[in-house]
Amino acid sequence: MNTKLTLRMEEALVIKAKNEAKRRGKSVSRIFAEFIDSLGQQPSRQGALSPITASLVGILKGRRVSEQAYKRHLREKWL
């Protein structure tokens, strides 16, 4: 059963929501319902990372890298 829900928000946000809904070919109600339905669900890890990022995951496992060492690396690289 569908029930009406009224939301109050800034006009600019309403315009953004309508534009996004049009871009996706969905209604604002559908997008909002999908968002609410997704709350509390675990994000899918499959395909969540780009191939390059996925290839870097775990590369430093077991190594300790300090913030100071990282800053030193950046200074040496860019200065």
What confidence score (pLDDT) does residue 12 get? 95
pLDDT class for 27, splitting at 50, 70, 90? very high
Judge whether residue 9 has pLDDT over 70.
yes
For 14, other C-beta atoms within 10 Å of its C-beta total 13
Confidence bin at 43 (pLDDT 50/70/90): low
pLDDT at 28: 95
Instruction: Give 50's pLDDT tier (boundaries 50, 70, 90).
Output: confident
CB contact at 8 A, 49 and 57: yes
Angle between helices 11-24 and 28-38 (to 10 degrees): 90
Mean pLDDT over the full length of the chain = 87
Counting every residue written for the chain, the total comes to 79
